[in-house]
Every structure is written in structure tokens, then in C-alpha cells.
Copies of this chain bind each other. A is one copy, B any other.
Amino acid sequence: MIRDFQAPARRLSPKRQACIYVGMASLTEFSLDEAIAVLTRTPATLNALLRGLPNIWVRCKEGKDTWSAFDIVGHLIFGERTDWMPRARIILESGEARPFDPFDRFAQLKESQDKSLEQLLDDFARLRRENLAALRALNLQQEDLTRRGRHPALGVVTLSQLLATWAVHDLTHVHQLSRVMAHQYRDAVGPWSAYLGVLQCTGHRAP
């Protein structure tokens, strides 16, 4: 994939909407260091955004059967415990022979209900730190990133796809968090709602 870096002189096809680094014709699509750079920052980002906020921002939702900011942090914790590194280990140890265990997207609704947001933020930061230390300790080489595993619904996936998804999964929940919070002031902004993209977002459910 070719990426477009600040107002390039050349034209790119819309499909290639991307970023060309000056003097660099193309980039590999995934870099372990780039993914780790995002994964490392998410706990501090959520901490800065959420710790100490009034309950309207933390506990309110977009409606029935939707998640609050509190629920989202709980979900991220559950992913640290059961999804990303356990699946990376399955790929490295068993390849496609052993499909991943399915991930329970709603487990946190039970597990975190007796905790405070502050406890959840601390738990998430600790688990992420431990998982990234374990990831680095694997000392993955470029050829390891192409190793294959089997997702119970999606079929064959690679280790690099799993690790890229871990980072984008953080971003998808930052995306959701900002939307859930903005929703609480949907009426309060009055006519400006037409100008605020986050209020036009209807969520993006997985199929």
C-alpha cells in the first residue's frame, strides 16, 4: 500500500487514498513497532479522557442494549485477558490446526459491574502493560508475522492481521466512546447538531 504524506503533488486513485512518505515509494502494510506505538498509548488516552468525569459522561449510553464508557473499558479489559495474546500464542503454537476460542463481547457486563471506573482504568493499564511485555518477549521476526491461524468465523488469518486488529480495535472503541459521550449533549447543542459529525454517526454494528 502506498501512503500519501501531506499534500502530494501526484494524484492517487481514490482507492489508494493513502500516504506517501517523502522519498519512500511504498511501505509494508503492517509494522510491529507502529502497532505497539498505538497499543502502548491507549490506557493513558482513556485515563486522560475518562478518569474523574461526571457520571453523565461515564455511565450514560446511547439507548437500550448499547454500551456506556464504563462498559467499553470493561470490554477492553476482557480482550486483554482472553483475546489478543492468547490468540497470538495459539497461532504460534498450533497454527491453523486449533481454531481460536470465540470471544465473548458481552462478558464485561457481568464482570465489571461491581468495580469503579478508576479500578477498570487501572486494570486495563496493568493488563495492557503485561501483554505488551509478553509480546515483545516473543521477539517476533518478519517471517513470524505471516504465520497463520484459524478464526472460528472468519477462517484463515495471519499473526500480522491479528496484531493490526488489536490496534484498530482500540481505535474503534475510542471512536465509539466519543460518540457515546457526544450523544448525551445531542439536544444541548441546539442547531449546531447539523455541523457535528459525531452526532450524525449511527454506530457501525458488526454484521
Binds B, one of A37-45, A73-81, A89-97, A135-143: A37-45
Question: In whole Å, how far is A51's beta carbon from the nearest beta carbon of chain B?
Answer: 8
Whether B178 pairs with A196 at a CB distance below 8 angstroms is: no
Q: How far is the CA of A33 from the CA of B151 in the complex (A)?
A: 46
Name the residue in A37, A158, A190, A206 with the highest tally of chain B Cβ atoms < 10 Å from its Cβ: A190
Name the residue in A66, A68, A182, A185 with the highest tally of chain B Cβ atoms < 10 Å from its Cβ: A185
Whether A29 pairs with B182 at a CB distance below 8 angstroms is: no
- Chain B residues positioned under 8 Å from A187 (CB to CB): 1, 29
Whether B168 pairs with A182 at a CB distance below 8 angstroms is: yes
User: 6 pairs across A/B with beta carbons < 8 Å?
Assistant: A37-B54, A151-B191, A154-B195, A168-B185, A172-B178, A199-B204
Residues of A at the B interface (CB closer than 8 Å) are 1, 3-6, 11-12, 14, 17-19, 21, 27, 29-31, 33-35, 37-38, 41, 44-45, 47-50, 52-57, 59-64, 66, 68, 151, 154-155, 157-158, 160-162, 164-165, 167-169, 171-172, 174-179, 181-185, 187-192, 194-201, 203-207
